[in-house]
Amino acid sequence: MFGAGAMTNSIPEIRDADLLFVIGSNTTEAHPIIAMEMKRAVRRGAKLIVADPREIWLTRIADLHLQLRPGTDVWLLNAMAHVIVGEGLVDEAFISAHTEGFEAVAETVRDYPPEEAERVTGVPAAAIREAARLYATTRKAGIYYTLGITEHSHGTDNVYALANLVLMTGHLGVRSAGMNPLRGQNNVQGANDAGASPVFYPGYQPVEDEGVRRKFEEAWGVPLSAKNGLNLNAMMAALAAGRLKGLYVMGEDIVLSEPNAGKVEQGLNQCEFLVVQDIFMTETARFADVVLPAACFAEKDGVFTNSDRRVQRVRKAVPPPGQARADWEIICDLARAAGYPMPDYAGPAEVYAEMARLSPKFAGISHERIEAEGGLQWPCPTADHPGTPTLHEGGPLRGKAIFQPVNYRPSAELPDPEYPLLLSTGRTLYHYNAATQTRRDAGPVLRQPHNFVEMHRRDARRLGLEDGERVVVASRRGRIEAHVCVSPRVRPGCVWMPFHFAESPTNRLTNDAGDAVTGTGEYKVCAVRVEKLSGAPASAC
Amino acid sequence: MSEAFRIRIDGREVEARPGETVLAAAARAGIEVPTLCQDERLDPMGSCRMCLVEVEGQRRLQPACAWRVEPGQAVTTQSERVDRHRRLLLELYLADHTPPREPNAPESEVLALARRYGAERRLDPVEAPREGREDPNPYITFDPGQCILCARCVRYCDEVEGVNAITLAGRGARTTIATAAQIGLLESTCELCGGCIDTCPTGALREKKPASLPVVQETRAVRTTCNFCGVGCQLDLHVAGDRVVRVGSPPPGTTVNDGNLCVKGRFAYDFIHHPDRLQTPLVRGRDGALREASWEEALARAAEGLLAVKERHDADALGFISSSRCTVEENYLVQKLARAAFGTNNCHQCAAT
């Protein structure tokens, strides 16, 4: 859109912002240290606008909380754009110098007046107007978002709608502003950068580009497939449909983490051959034909790339347990066992050097430089380049940034009389994903011992449920048991669950309807029903 | 920004910026002023009096952490008068400060300063030592006897973490650090980030977890990157023998996390040495159960199994799921494995959103 899939700005810039627009990010729980920077900015006097269906912690210090209905982000964001265009708050100089396609967006958002938006999103029109004016008229105004934006069947539309706001107000290439996806895991950014993608080689070089493919064929000494691969969501669908027959899984518990877990399990059951490489016996590993024991982060060398494109070292502190080995060693040996002559790398530094040689974005980064200088932020094209804390300074990387008009599309599955509640899922502060790590530690277990479903007291009363009571949560795809947590944090009609608990796997409920572009599952919206579990004892949530 | 000007510190010409403190100007010039209640992440409080310096034209000593510089000002950070003040001040603190209970505890900031200024335990101890009861949380312990009430922990909890779980409670000699309603930390708004431990200059706030381990004389610190969320916090893994026994944060101002960590990064490391860790390759036997195998056998089985699928169907009947928890190098190698060794672009990391 602007030319790079990453945070445009840097984490240390947050403290100097004059406005933070946080949407679809429960930052204090999912990114606690970034949240500290946000709190610091607010203490300094920055305005904070939070858009989230739940009353998350940040709303306590926010100037505005736009408590939208889950899945109505495009309506909210287009209505903000409607106000900005209608009131002449756009940055005309930036639009004409650095962008293309503004007219089409201006035309589209005309159909999104705040009063209509109020009806769809539940956010008062006055609050939408105020948020739009504040955002448009503050120079150092940054947008921060996470999976609340992307985990929808229209996640890409949500991102486009945000980008349109950034571009029409010229909030790009400005310190403490920009558009900032906060990455959920330590090396999401780095895994994308390294080409763990069905459509990109390392450094975002397209698989379908013949010149790129020739370069990699020459470097790796074999002919390569010219056909784009399947994304993860499509792989899961192909597995369930019997088209994908063999699977290698490194470091992910797909049974707990992918949406519609029942379908994932069905796929794994009919899979002809499964290799799992992990540090614990995960739910997925139970299906495997071969299980390879791997080293954890404290037991190997390498780099992680964080949300603000910062490449930082991971260092071996202790040896792996028993016969476990570093993933990079296992992968090289597996390739050799399959007849491919993987080079005899002396260590991860040489692997990184090979990737950097083939990827202009990281060509100037090496383990040696990181040792000497600390973390380096890409783009870093040459060995004497200092790295890039703020992207797009002096204009978008790709020359002209492109506006993308988007229209609202409802989520794939919405509540109905049979499944009347809207379920969103997410992470909590105390656990991490499938919780194979955090459930082996006392603090998280004491704070959150079991799965729960957050519910507004009005819904609890209507269903005759007490706080702490065990219930069944059911969707069209599965049923699980959990404890009711009556909470003012959620909207009436909406419930919320974490997905950290193997014995109560929330992703049996979620919808695997994927985003058309990225394949990301619709974890944030599906329809469920909550049923009383007669005779079960209650306990606090 | 308005223009810089010059002041004199200890006879040296030093550049200063309007509105900054003596401490900040001195630090930039490489002149160290001792402090106890100061933490660069917090608003200056000026309560510990350790940083008092002579300011020209001022009859009384002034706190360097709070005194704003003015053009042409002359400041003396080291003199007989200042040293005498610091020694006496530290002796007053020692009178209200019990020695650490463990023989292996690292030297705290307050004890290091006492040694430097030759302060001794010669004043009579305070009569009514502060009392505290053990908090049942699994991570953080507080010894009121070692606390000097600098309130760095309380201010950190308020200004940085923003949860206000702890406060200065009680009055006079009985003042202590506690939760507002005398409840346990687990019942309070505390999020167990442990930032109070890192900022504490006395060792009154400590971690519970290493206490349960054998006495260790020497540990080494290994700087690395946290493996949980995408912030990229830098961590120091403290290693004794072959075990990680503690996780600390690098000092404020040096890394992207500015000295801060969360409950997961600081405390959730027990998984590393957990007995449930996979330690041996496993292959599925004829009986349908997983059994232990050598690396050679497991790798051969894995390669043969995947190649057989490719032969029976085609390369695109294979899928490779990579991990956003693993390193960049490992992700590079997985996509190379999929593309170069097996001939498919069906390769995706687990969290590409």
Q: What is the mean pLDDT of residues A195-217?
A: 96
Would you say residue A64 lies in a domain?
yes
Based on the domain organization, do B258 and B305 belong to the same domain?
no
Residue B251 touches partner A, C-beta closer than 8 Å: no
Based on the domain organization, do B284 and B345 belong to the same domain?
no
Domain count for chain A, please give it: 3
3-class secondary-structure state, position A41: helix
Does the pLDDT of residue B231 top 60, yes or no?
A: yes
Report the C-alpha gap between A73 and A52 in whole angstroms.
9
Based on the domain organization, do A162 and A255 belong to the same domain?
no
Instruction: Quote the minimal CA–CA distance from A33 to chain B in Å.
Output: 6
Cβ contacts of residue A335 below 8 Å, gap of 6+?
A342, B333, B336, B337, B340, B341
Query: Based on the number of CB atoms within 10 Å of its own CB, is B287 exposed (0-12), middle (13-18) or buried (19 or more)?
Result: exposed
Say which residue the tokens 């009389």 belong to. A417
Would you say residue B117 lies in a domain?
no
Residue A344 touches partner B, C-beta closer than 8 Å: no
Please say whether the beta carbons of A162 and A172 come within 8 A: no
pLDDT, tens digit, for every residue of B195-210?
999 999 998 998 887 6
List the single residue in B299, B312, B348 with the smallest CB-CB distance to A235: B348
CATH classification of the domain holding A152: 3.40.228.10
Instruction: Quote the minimal CA–CA distance from A212 to chain B in Å.
Output: 13
Residue B301 phi, psi (nearest 5): -60, -45
Q: Quote the domain boundaries for residue B55.
A: 5-78
Single residue among B48, B78, B108 that ends a domain in this structure: B78
List the single residue in B138, B232, B321 with the smallest CB-CB distance to A254: B321
Q: What is the mean pLDDT of residues B65-93?
A: 94
Report the C-alpha gap between A192 and A189 in whole angstroms.
5
Q: Are the beta carbons of A229 and B348 separated by less than 8 Å? A: yes
Based on the domain organization, do A192 and A338 belong to the same domain?
yes
Based on the domain organization, do A148 and A204 belong to the same domain?
no
The overall average pLDDT reported for chain A is 93
Does the pLDDT of residue A525 top 70, yes or no?
A: yes
The overall average pLDDT reported for chain B is 91
Would you say residue B352 lies in a domain?
yes
Does the pLDDT of residue A135 top 60, yes or no?
A: yes
Strands annotated E in B230-293: 234-240, 243-248, 282-284, 290-292
Residue B319 touches partner A, C-beta closer than 8 Å: yes
Say which residue the tokens 């900040």 belong to. B24
Would you say residue B297 lies in a domain?
yes
Would you say residue A351 lies in a domain?
yes
Please say whether the beta carbons of B21 and B44 come within 8 A: yes
Question: Residues of A numbered 416-435 whose beta carbons fall under 8 angstroms of chain B's beta carbons: which are they?
Answer: 429-430, 432
Chain A CB contacts of B282 under 8 Å are: 288, 290-291
Q: What is the C-alpha radius of gyration for chain B, rounded to an integer number of angstroms?
A: 28
Angle between helices A73-86 and A155-168 (to 10 degrees): 20
Report the C-alpha gap between B135 and B190 in whole angstroms.
12
Based on the domain organization, do A329 and A463 belong to the same domain?
no
In the prediction, which pLDDT does B125 show? 77
Residue B349 touches partner A, C-beta closer than 8 Å: yes
Q: Quote the domain boundaries for residue A269.
A: 188-377
Q: Are the beta carbons of B244 and A292 separated by less than 8 Å? A: no
Based on the domain organization, do A114 and A236 belong to the same domain?
no
Chain B CB contacts of A325 under 8 Å are: 295
Single residue among A377, A406, A439 that ends a domain in this structure: A377
Q: Are the beta carbons of A440 and B274 separated by less than 8 Å? A: yes
Element (H or E) spanning A39, and its range? helix A32-44
Percentage, residues of chain A above pLDDT 70 = 98
Q: Centre a 10 Å sphere on the Cβ of residue A235 and count the other Cβ atoms it contains.
A: 26
3-class secondary-structure state, position A50: strand
CATH classification of the domain holding B269: 2.20.25.90
Cβ contacts of residue B99 below 8 Å, gap of 6+?
none
Does the pLDDT of residue A281 top 90, yes or no?
A: yes
Report the C-alpha gap between A9 and A318 in whole angstroms.
34
Instruction: Quote the minimal CA–CA distance from A418 to chain B in Å.
Output: 31
Residue B285 touches partner A, C-beta closer than 8 Å: no
Based on the domain organization, do A21 and A64 belong to the same domain?
yes
Does the pLDDT of residue A433 top 80, yes or no?
A: no
Chain B CB contacts of A518 under 8 Å are: 352-353
Please say whether the beta carbons of A349 and A368 come within 8 A: yes
Chain A CB contacts of B267 under 8 Å are: 441, 443
Would you say residue B246 lies in a domain?
yes
pLDDT, tens digit, for every residue of A346-389?
999 999 999 999 999 999 999 999 999 999 999 999 999 999 99
Q: Centre a 10 Å sphere on the Cβ of residue B236 and count the other Cβ atoms it contains.
A: 17
Based on the domain organization, do B245 and B298 belong to the same domain?
no
Cβ contacts below 8 Å, chain A against chain B, sum to: 477
Cβ contacts of residue A417 below 8 Å, gap of 6+?
none
Instruction: Quote the minimal CA–CA distance from B204 to chain A in Å.
Output: 21
Name the residue of chain B whose CA is nearest to A218's CA. Answer: B340
In the prediction, which pLDDT does B41 show? 94
In the prediction, which pLDDT does B214 show? 46
pLDDT range class, residue A429, cuts 50, 70, 90? confident
- DSSP type of residue A226: -
Would you say residue B107 lies in a domain?
no
Instruction: Quote the minimal CA–CA distance from B286 to chain A in Å.
Output: 11
Based on the domain organization, do B226 and B271 belong to the same domain?
yes
Cβ contacts of residue B155 below 8 Å, gap of 6+?
B39, B42, B43, B45
pLDDT range class, residue A4, cuts 50, 70, 90? low
Based on the domain organization, do B248 and B271 belong to the same domain?
yes
In the prediction, which pLDDT does A8 show? 93
**Which span out of A149-153, A375-379, B331-335 was modeled with the highest average pLDDT?**
B331-335
Based on the domain organization, do A176 and A211 belong to the same domain?
no
Does the pLDDT of residue A536 top 60, yes or no?
A: no
pLDDT, tens digit, for every residue of B34-60?
999 999 999 999 999 999 999 999 999
Residue A30 touches partner B, C-beta closer than 8 Å: yes
Report the C-alpha gap between B232 and A377 in whole angstroms.
12
Chain A CB contacts of B327 under 8 Å are: 187, 190, 300-304, 314, 327-328, 348
Domain count for chain B, please give it: 4
Cβ contacts of residue B320 below 8 Å, gap of 6+?
A247, A248, A250, B334, B335, B337, B338, B342, B344, B346, B347, B348
Q: Are the beta carbons of B327 and A190 separated by less than 8 Å? A: yes
Chain B CB contacts of A540 under 8 Å are: none
Residue A353 touches partner B, C-beta closer than 8 Å: no
Please say whether the beta carbons of A287 and A260 come within 8 A: no
Please tell me whether the peptide bond between B125 and the residue prior to it is cis, using omega within 30 degrees of 0: no
Instruction: Quote the minimal CA–CA distance from A356 to chain B in Å.
Output: 10
Report the C-alpha gap between A78 and A92 in whole angstroms.
18
Q: What is the C-alpha radius of gyration for chain A, rounded to an integer number of angstroms?
A: 24
Per-residue 3-state assignment (H helix, E strand, C coil) for B131-193: CCCCCCCCCEEECHHHCCCCCHHHHHHHHCCCCCCEEEECCHHHCEEEECCCCCHHHCCCCCC
Based on the domain organization, do A317 and A346 belong to the same domain?
yes
Single residue among A181, A209, A236 that ends a domain in this structure: A181
In the prediction, which pLDDT does A445 show? 76
Q: Are the beta carbons of A225 and B315 separated by less than 8 Å? A: yes
Q: What is the residue-wise DSSP string for A91-112?
A: -HHHHHHHEE-HHHHHHHHTT-
Would you say residue A471 lies in a domain?
yes
Based on the domain organization, do B238 and B252 belong to the same domain?
yes
Q: What is the mean pLDDT of residues A416-426?
A: 95
Residue A527 touches partner B, C-beta closer than 8 Å: no
Based on the domain organization, do A441 and A332 belong to the same domain?
no
Q: Are the beta carbons of B262 and A279 separated by less than 8 Å? A: no
Please say whether the beta carbons of A357 and A299 come within 8 A: no
Question: Residues of B numbered 189-218 whose beta carbons fall under 8 angstroms of chain A's beta carbons: which are they?
Answer: 191-193
Based on the domain organization, do B236 and B253 belong to the same domain?
yes
CATH classification of the domain holding B55: 3.10.20.740
pLDDT range class, residue A398, cuts 50, 70, 90? confident
Please say whether the beta carbons of A236 and A258 come within 8 A: yes
User: What is the per-residue burial (b if ≥16 Cβ within 10 Å, else e) of B238-250?
Assistant: bbbeebbbbbbbb
Based on the domain organization, do B285 and B231 belong to the same domain?
no
CATH classification of the domain holding A426: 2.40.40.20
Based on the domain organization, do A223 and A356 belong to the same domain?
yes
Residue A500 touches partner B, C-beta closer than 8 Å: no
In the prediction, which pLDDT does A239 show? 96
Question: Among residues A306, A303, A439, which one has the least CA distance to residue B326?
Answer: A303
Report the C-alpha gap between A170 and A162 in whole angstroms.
12
Based on the domain organization, do B285 and B322 belong to the same domain?
no
- In chain B, what is the greatest distance between 2 CA atoms, to the nearest angstrom? 92
Single residue among A377, A412, A431 that ends a domain in this structure: A377
Report the C-alpha gap between B34 and B57 in whole angstroms.
22
pLDDT, tens digit, for every residue of B90-135?
999 998 888 777 767 778 899 999 999 999 988 887 766 666 778 8
Based on the domain organization, do A149 and A78 belong to the same domain?
yes
Based on the domain organization, do A17 and A166 belong to the same domain?
yes
3-class secondary-structure state, position A122: coil
Would you say residue A401 lies in a domain?
no
pLDDT range class, residue B175, cuts 50, 70, 90? confident
Would you say residue A142 lies in a domain?
yes
Name the residue of chain A whose CA is nearest to B140's CA. Answer: A443
Q: What is the residue-wise DSSP string for A287-334?
A: G-SEEEEB--GGG--EEEE-TTSEEEEE---SPPSTT-B-HHHHHHHH
Q: What is the mean pLDDT of residues B133-140?
A: 86
Chain B CB contacts of A437 under 8 Å are: 228, 268, 271
- DSSP type of residue B99: P
Would you say residue B271 lies in a domain?
yes
Q: What is the mean pLDDT of residues A170-184?
A: 93
CATH classification of the domain holding A249: 3.40.50.740
Residue A397 touches partner B, C-beta closer than 8 Å: no
